Amino acid sequence: LSEFPVDRIRNFCIIAHIDHGKSTLADRLLEMTGAIAKTDKNKQVLDKLQVERERGITVKAQTASLFYTHHGQQHLLNLIDTPGHVDFSYEVSRSISACQGVLLLVDANQGIQAQTVANFYLAFEAQLTIIPVINKIDLKNADPERVESQIENVFDIPREDCIRISAKLGTNVENVLQAVVERIPPPTAIVHDPFKALVFDSNFDHYRGIVANIAVFAGHVKKGDKIVSAHLGKAYEVNELGLLCPQEHPTQKLFAGQVGYLIAGMKEVKEAQIGDTLYHQDQPVEALPGFKPAKAMVFAGMYPVDQSEYPGLRSAIERLTLNDSSVTVQRDSSLALGAGWRLGFLGLLHMEVFNQRLEQEYNASVIITAPTVPYKAVLSSAKLIKNRRGIQNNMMYVDDHRVMMKYLFPLNEIVMDFYDLLKSLSSGYASFDYENAGYQAADLIKMDILLNGRPVEELTTIVHRARAYSTGKAICERLKDSIPRQMFEIAVQASIGSKIIARETIKAYRKNVLAKCYGGDITRKMKLLKKQAEGKKKMRRIGNVEVPKDVFINVLKRKEN
Ligand SMILES: Nc1nc2c(ncn2[C@@H]2O[C@H](COP(=O)(O)OP(=O)(O)OP(=O)(O)O)[C@@H](O)[C@H]2O)c(=O)[nH]1
């Protein structure tokens, strides 16, 4: 690929509420531009991570360069697929910074939802061209008329701008490609200026070191060039670069306006900061503004199951945070668990996904403590919504049937399971998004959970005084259900200071794994014992009690009717 005329380049992403069909539309766009073969097996091709495939959600933004001929002229369209879940909105804002336009995708049946609004404002504030696309018009209950009215009401975009499609069947998807070329402006990149690129994503490859995804804002870069990263001022030689189609496609050069990948002998995670600027060694440029650091909302301790695994886990966490820079990491240590880290996440799903990626991509086994939210402490010594200490702030009608309400909530009330509950109470109709509203004074106390008298650090929580008894009781009951019976009786207690406020008992029981091996087959015996020992690795010892490690998260999820 030689230099591509900048006026025939378009950088865009698809933004939408979760499940409105971004990844499916991306599949169709890839097929129609020949980036991937057209088969019925193309399902969410850009969702490459194992966790994405298992959960059916997009976690990481992915990039693909597509070639599309419009009025006889070849255009280069750089598509960035973005995640829809509220916990991953940081990825959305990063993607947007490399684009000039967005496809705002709305489900023809569900209409505008919480993340549709949040993502719209991200794009709107960045002054991008917004193309409204109404998806799933093939559904029996599709009501594109109504969704167009919502788009007019809420976003002030004329209904004539909307494109009605079915990403699943491919209906009208060609019109989307045309609109991308016709409505979105090309990047304002200048090919003759000195090279300047934004690192908008990076990941660690076991064989090649750090692979940075870059958007070239000016000039060009080629193999063998000496480049500098503005953040550390360190120089590197470019070993490889190319386009993402969506597979890596090595090229000789990358030019202004293009988006691609670059490998330049960066070995350490801190060398490829997301938001960093790259330039030629002999032609320094002013660094780009970079990104606002993501604000962690949920914190949890993370420890190796065995302290000997500490160094391995440290490098796994470092490499994974390179690919997910919204996670904050601080070293921490605990009497019971040894050396570890305190990690900050954007939400609970984010934390679970991070944990799963550590296990799947880095083969790491970790103990994660119960998540907490930040509190500011002063030391001296209605439904669902009323239950969660919510205060209504404002309300706006999206159309006759839908209302958007804003509430002020204590973060700890919504972090664990509010989203799941809201969904089930409203049969899936309600949707939810949040932003930080600052600290507020509240009557909070510290509650400990004890197993046979030993406090379980990971389950210590801060609760509202009025809710201490019911929460303590519920946690004890859930612990009783989730801790397997052991050879002795276990007392499960909740306490405030020295006062016990709830108690459950787990009866004794002996699990003899050898019971089924009648005779003396020693290898079989060893196998079973080894299996049991491996099972125990997933356990954490508190005093003499073995606790399965997933208990720590599950126990704190509330179940309300
Ligand atoms: N009937 C119908 N179903 C569709 C259409 N487009 C997508 N879907 C379905 O909607 C579901 C969600 O689609 P995805 O493409 O995974 O949605 P997404 O917005 O990428 O979801 P996240 O990446 O998790 O945010 C899948 O089951 C798709 O098959 C469509 O045009 N018609």
What's the whole-number mean pLDDT along residues 146-164? 92
- Asked which of 333, 368, 403 is the last residue of a domain, the reply is 368
- 44-48, 164-168, 216-220: segment of lowest average pLDDT: 44-48
Work out which ligand 1 atom sits closest to the CA atom of 169: 31
Q: Does the structure show a pLDDT above 50 at 560?
A: no
Q: How confident is the model at residue 272 (pLDDT cuts 50, 70, 90)?
A: confident
Are 148 and 221 part of one and the same domain? no
- 20-34, 63-77, 200-214: segment of lowest average pLDDT: 200-214
The answer to the question of residue 417 being in a domain is no
Q: How confident is the model at residue 382 (pLDDT cuts 50, 70, 90)?
A: very low
- Asked which of 324, 344, 368 is the last residue of a domain, the reply is 368
Instruction: Give the Å distance between the CA of 331 and the centre of ligand 1.
Output: 40
pLDDT digits (tens, 9 = 90+) for 354-376: 888 888 877 877 877 766 655 44
Q: Give the pLDDT confidence score for residue 185 in this predicted structure.
A: 94
Q: How confident is the model at residue 59 (pLDDT cuts 50, 70, 90)?
A: very low
Unique residue bearing structure tokens 């690919």: 323
Instruction: Give the Å distance between the CA of 85 and the centre of ligand 1.
Output: 13
Element (H, E) at 87: none
The answer to the question of residue 266 being in a domain is yes
Residue 84 is labelled as binding a ligand: yes
ipTM of the complex: 0.97
Backbone angles phi, psi at 43, to 5 degrees: -120, 115
By residue range, what is the domain housing residue 276? 196-280
- Asked which of 131, 152, 183 is the last residue of a domain, the reply is 183
- Long-range contacts of the stretch 383-390 (C-beta < 8 A, 24+): 383/425, 384/418, 384/421, 384/422, 384/425, 384/560, 387/560, 388/413, 388/414, 388/418, 389/413, 389/442, 389/464
Comparing CA positions, the residue from 500, 505, 508 lying closest to residue 455 is 500
Q: Give the pLDDT confidence score for residue 330 in this predicted structure.
A: 84
Maximum alpha-carbon separation in the chain: 82
Are 232 and 340 part of one and the same domain? no
Are 114 and 223 part of one and the same domain? no
Residue 519 is labelled as binding a ligand: no
Residue 161 is labelled as binding a ligand: no
pLDDT digits (tens, 9 = 90+) for 293-308: 666 777 888 888 777 8
* Any ligand 1 atom below 6 A from CB of 184: no
Asked if 30 contacts 246 with a C-beta cutoff of 8 angstroms, the reply is: yes
* Any ligand 1 atom below 6 A from CB of 21: yes
Domain count, the chain: 4
Q: Give the pLDDT confidence score for residue 54 in this predicted structure.
A: 58
Residue partners of 474: CB distance under 8 A and separation at least 6: 558, 559
Unique residue bearing structure tokens 């695994």: 309
Query: Residue of the nearest CA to atom 13 in ligand 1?
Result: 21
Comparing CA positions, the residue from 448, 459, 445, 423 lying closest to residue 557 is 459
Work out which ligand 1 atom sits closest to the CA atom of 58: 23
Are 207 and 331 part of one and the same domain? no
The top-scoring range by mean pLDDT among 19-23, 56-60, 360-364, 506-510 is 19-23
- Long-range contacts of the stretch 433-440 (C-beta < 8 A, 24+): 433/86, 433/114, 433/115, 433/117, 433/118, 434/86, 434/409, 436/295, 436/297, 436/411, 437/408, 439/375, 439/376, 440/408, 440/410
Give the mean pLDDT of the chain. 77
Are 78 and 204 part of one and the same domain? no
pLDDT digits (tens, 9 = 90+) for 422-464: 555 555 555 555 555 555 556 677 888 888 888 877 777 777 7
Residue 448 is labelled as binding a ligand: no
Are 15 and 156 part of one and the same domain? yes
- 90-99, 184-193, 345-354, 418-427: segment of lowest average pLDDT: 418-427
Residue with the larger pLDDT of the pair 166 and 483: 166
Query: Residue of the nearest CA to atom 9 in ligand 1?
Result: 21
Start-to-end CA distance of the chain, whole Å, equals: 60
Please count the other Cβ atoms lying within 10 Å of the Cβ belonging to residue 343. 24
Q: Give the pLDDT confidence score for residue 50 in this predicted structure.
A: 62
Q: Does the structure show a pLDDT above 90 at 113?
A: no
Are 144 and 256 part of one and the same domain? no
Q: How confident is the model at residue 206 (pLDDT cuts 50, 70, 90)?
A: confident
Ligand 1: which of 168, 171, 175 to mutate, judged by most atoms within 8 Å of the beta carbon? 168
* Any ligand 1 atom below 6 A from CB of 44: yes
Are 168 and 235 part of one and the same domain? no
Instruction: Give the Å distance between the CA of 44 and the centre of ligand 1.
Output: 9
Q: How confident is the model at residue 195 (pLDDT cuts 50, 70, 90)?
A: very high
In 111-160, where does DSSP find H-type helix? 114-125, 144-155
* Any ligand 1 atom below 6 A from CB of 24: yes
Q: Does the structure show a pLDDT above 50 at 379?
A: no
How many distinct helices (H) and strands (E) make up the chain?
Answer: 14, 29
Q: Does the structure show a pLDDT above 90 at 101?
A: yes
The one-letter code for the residue type at 299 is F
Instruction: Give the Å distance between the CA of 18 and the centre of ligand 1.
Output: 9
Q: Does the structure show a pLDDT above 90 at 86?
A: no
Are 484 and 348 part of one and the same domain? no
Q: Give the pLDDT confidence score for residue 262 in this predicted structure.
A: 93
Instruction: Provide the 3-class DSSP secondary structure of residue 94.
Output: helix
* Any ligand 1 atom below 6 A from CB of 164: no
Instruction: Give the Å distance between the CA of 23 and the centre of ligand 1.
Output: 7
Work out which ligand 1 atom sits closest to the CA atom of 139: 1
Ligand 1: which of 19, 85, 147 to mutate, judged by most atoms within 8 Å of the beta carbon? 19
* Any ligand 1 atom below 6 A from CB of 139: yes
CATH number assigned to the domain comprising residue 494: 3.30.70.2570
* Any ligand 1 atom below 6 A from CB of 326: no
**What b-and-e string marks burial along 215-226, b requiring 16 or more CB atoms within 10 Å of the CB?**
bbbbbbbebebe
* Any ligand 1 atom below 6 A from CB of 144: no
Residue with the larger pLDDT of the pair 447 and 129: 129
Query: Residue of the nearest CA to atom 14 in ligand 1?
Result: 21
Share of the chain above pLDDT 70, in %: 68
Are 137 and 30 part of one and the same domain? yes
* Any ligand 1 atom below 6 A from CB of 133: no
Q: Give the pLDDT confidence score for residue 168 in this predicted structure.
A: 93
Q: How confident is the model at residue 378 (pLDDT cuts 50, 70, 90)?
A: very low
Q: Does the structure show a pLDDT above 70 at 408?
A: no
* Any ligand 1 atom below 6 A from CB of 57: yes
Ligand 1: which of 15, 22, 24, 89 to mutate, judged by most atoms within 8 Å of the beta carbon? 24
Instruction: Give the Å distance between the CA of 34 and the centre of ligand 1.
Output: 21
The answer to the question of residue 17 being in a domain is yes
* Any ligand 1 atom below 6 A from CB of 84: yes
Cross-strand pairs, 505: 491
Q: Does the structure show a pLDDT above 50 at 115?
A: yes
Strands of 259-263's sheet in order across: 234-237, 226-229, 277-280, 196-205, 209-218, 259-263, 240-244, 248-250
Are 245 and 304 part of one and the same domain? no
Instruction: Give the Å distance between the CA of 19 and the centre of ligand 1.
Output: 5
The one-letter code for the residue type at 407 is Y
Comparing CA positions, the residue from 482, 478, 463, 456 lying closest to residue 560 is 478
Instruction: Give the Å distance between the CA of 57 and the centre of ligand 1.
Output: 10
Q: Give the pLDDT confidence score for residue 331 in this predicted structure.
A: 85
The answer to the question of residue 428 being in a domain is no
Instruction: Give the Å distance between the CA of 357 and the centre of ligand 1.
Output: 23
Q: Give the pLDDT confidence score for residue 538 in this predicted structure.
A: 57
Q: How confident is the model at residue 142 (pLDDT cuts 50, 70, 90)?
A: very high
The answer to the question of residue 425 being in a domain is no
